[in-house]
Structure 1
Amino acid sequence: MIYTVTINPAVDYTIKIPELVLGKVNRSEKEEYFFGGKGVNVSIVLHNLGIKSIALGFIAGFTGQFVRQGIYSLGIKNDFIDLPSGMTRINIKIKADKETDINAVGPVIPKDSIELLCKKIEKVKDNDFLVLAGAVPNNVDEQIYSDLLSHLKAKNVHVIIDATRNYLINALKHKPFLVKPNRAELGQLFNKEIHTDADIVLYAKKLQEMGARNVLVSIGDKGAVLVTENDDVICNDAPKGITKNTVGAGDSLTAGFIAGYLEKKDFRYALKYGLASGSATAFSDTLASKNEIEQILKTIE
């Protein structure tokens, strides 16, 4: 089984306007609501690919119920924990001449709710996948992902972490199967500017020295670099296309990588499948479908 954990899910409120003019009343041409959060997005794309997962995390208020109902409507299992107060955050995505995002903080997560999540993590079994992904509310300790992993009873779990700064660094001692920073996030981890593939490989290997088994660094429309536990460096360019939507592209990459790895247990194929999935979402208005992903996969050498 694949479990995804989204500590801080969100409702993405997308507004389309011709031009954003600060200090003035702007009228939209179109509005849409999407339920999401990084782990939730991974579960949705896996579902689109015909792969089952269970979505874990926290929800609160009427926006949290929107997230839960949306996932149920797709037929995705979830076992979210309802928080006693607050509301699941709303992230505003303004699509104008330039894209502008305003991401909210999220609800307060009390310690007893975190303990409930830890108990759910204890049920993960050998050979399962556990995806820890996304932002964390300000009141949650930077050890949260490390603490969750310390509750794993099984010894052979494929842990995938898509997190930033100390949330990732603190969890590396648990030797995760894969970590997935983008280029900017990799630079932030070491307070360095990352410019070249050589830079990416250098700092990816530093993450391996700190405990990561495999490191996948996404580079947006430039593709991705994968440094494996077998000491292979695999670089792939991104497929060409017109970008319509960047929301969830990185999460689609994660889901596609999992799907590819499950199919063939081959890192090169997993990377290609991941890039096809990420690009398919970027070229679509929503998270990619299986058909969209497979059509792009055919174009990747």
Structure 2
Amino acid sequence: MIYTVTFNPSLDYIVHLPSLALGSVNRTEKEELYPGGKGINVSIMLRNLGVESTALGFISGFTGTEISRLLDQNGCHTDFIRVADGFSRINVKIKAEQESEINGQGPHLSAADLSALYQKLNQLNENDILVLAGSIPNTLPPDVYEKILERLQNRNILVVVDATGDLLKNVLKYRPFLIKPNNHELGELFGKVLETDEEIILHAKKLQEQGARNVLISMAGNGAILVDENGSICKSLPPCGKVVNSVGAGDSMVAGFLAGYLQSGDYRTAFKTGLAAGSASAFQEWLASGDDVRALLQTL
């Protein structure tokens, strides 16, 4: 079973305006409401690709109830921890002449809430897959990813980490199965701007030296590169298409990689499926369907 963890899920309220006039009443042309959070995106895309997962994390209040309902509506299994205080955050995405965002804070998470998550993770079995994705609320200790991997080490659980900075750097010693920085995040880990594929591959290998098994680097319009644990390198430009919304594309790439790997056991197939899934979502208003992904996969 695949488990995804989203520490601070959201309702993403997307409003389309012809223009945004500050200090005045604005009326929308179109509105959408989606469940948000990187781990949640991974679970939804996995479901679209026919792979089951369970979404873990924290929800609270009426917004938390709606997040859970929307995931159920999308066919996803959930096992959220309900937090007593506050409510799950609402992120407002304003699409006008320029795109703007107002992101909520989310509920306060206590030590007891975190302990409840640890108890759920203790139930994972050998060969299960755990996806840790995104940032963490400021009410949690900054080493929470590290503590989770420390608990799971030597249990034959494959861990995927999609995070930045110290959240990522500090877990490498636990040999995560897959990490997925983008090219900018990869450079930031080393205090450099990486401009060529050769530089990106070189620094991906440095992360492998620090413990990562497979390093998948997303590069937006320049496609992606995979440096796998067998020493092979896959790289490809993305399929042709018009980018509509890049939010969730990286999460879709993670889900596609996992789906492709589970179905084939082959890293090259996993890479292509990940690239197709990430691109397909970038070409949609929201996350792509399985048919969208499969259609693009035929072009790679």
TM-score by length of 2: 0.95
Answering whether residue 221 of structure 2 is matched by residue 221 of structure 1, we say: yes
Contact 1:124–1:153 (CA under 8 A) maintained in structure 2: no
Q: Deviations over 1:195-236 (max 9, x none)?
A: 221221122122112211111110112111111111222111
Match of 1:169?
A: 169
1:31-66: CA deviation from partner (whole Å, max 9, x where unpaired): 111012100111101111111101111111111111
Matches within 5 A, 1:191-210: 191-210=191-210
SS of residue in 1 equivalent to 2:132: strand
Structure 1 unaligned regions, length at least 5: none
Does structure 2 conserve the Cα–Cα contact (< 8 Å) formed by 1:174 and 1:211?
yes
CA contact (8 A) 1:243 1:283 kept: yes
RMSD, aligned α-carbons: 1.5
Counterparts in 2 of 1:195 and 1:50: CA distance versus 1, 3 Å: same
SS at match of 2:3: strand
Deviation per residue, 1:125-158 (Å, 9 max, x gap) = 1111110011211121221111112222762211
Q: Percent identity?
A: 50
- State the partner residue of 1:270: 270
Q: Aligned to 2:152, what secondary structure does the other structure show?
A: coil
Amino acid at match of 1:46: L
Letter in 2 for 1:195: E
Aligned residues: 300
**How far is 1:188 from its partner?**
2.2
Q: 2:27 corresponds to which residue?
A: 27
Give the match for residue 282 of structure 1. Answer: 282
Between the aligned partners of 2:167 and 2:55, the Cα distance in structure 1 is: 20
User: Which piece of structure 1 moves more, 290-299 or 137-146?
Assistant: 137-146
Write the distance in 2 (CA, Å) between the matches of 1:200 and 1:21: 42
Provide, for residues 47-89 of structure 1, a one-character-per-residue CA deviation record: whole Å limited to 9, x for no partner.
1111110111111111111111111222321110011212211
* Contact kept in structure 2, 1:143 and 1:171, CA below 8 Å: no
Q: Which residue of 2 aligns with 1:259?
A: 259
Normalising to structure 1: TM-score of the pair? 0.95
Residue segments in structure 2 that go unaligned for 5+ positions in a row: none
**Kept in 1: contact 2:153–2:174 (CA 8 A):** no
Per-residue CA distance 1:172-205 (angstroms, 9 max, x = gap): 1111000011122222222221222122112212
